[in-house]
């Protein structure tokens, strides 16, 4: 848990944490508790690196491209 908090900080994590803390503080000042709940969730995403802040929303691109001309073997079923 300690390593998750201290390592692998990216720009996206900082943005999520900053936006979440801003939303949390302004919602508490305005007594908007639903906004405070949402702000807490967004700040936690940035702090603990889960969800999109952890890079889990990106599409995975395969590194090895399959050979398009590869020989395909077919087996007859009876």
Domain boundaries, the chain: 2-54
Of 50, 30, 32, 28, nearest to 41 by C-alpha is 50
Q: What is the pLDDT of residues 15-40, one digit of tens each?
A: 999 999 999 999 999 999 999 999 99
* pLDDT tier at 70, thresholds 50, 70, 90: low
pTM summary value = 0.66
More confident of the two residues 23 and 4: 23
Q: How many other C-beta atoms are found inside a 10 Å radius of the C-beta of residue 39?
A: 21
More confident of the two residues 61 and 19: 19
């Amino acid at each position: 848990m300690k390593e998750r908090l201290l390592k692998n900080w990216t720009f996206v994590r900082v943005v999520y944490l900053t936006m979440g803390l801003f939303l949390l503080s302004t919602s508490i000042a305005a007594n908007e508790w639903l906004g405070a709940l949402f702000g807490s969730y967004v700040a936690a995403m940035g702090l603990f690196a889960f969800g999109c802040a952890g890079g889990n929303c990106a599409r995975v691109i395969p590194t090895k491209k399959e050979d398009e001309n590869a020989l395909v073997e077919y087996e007859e079923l009876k």
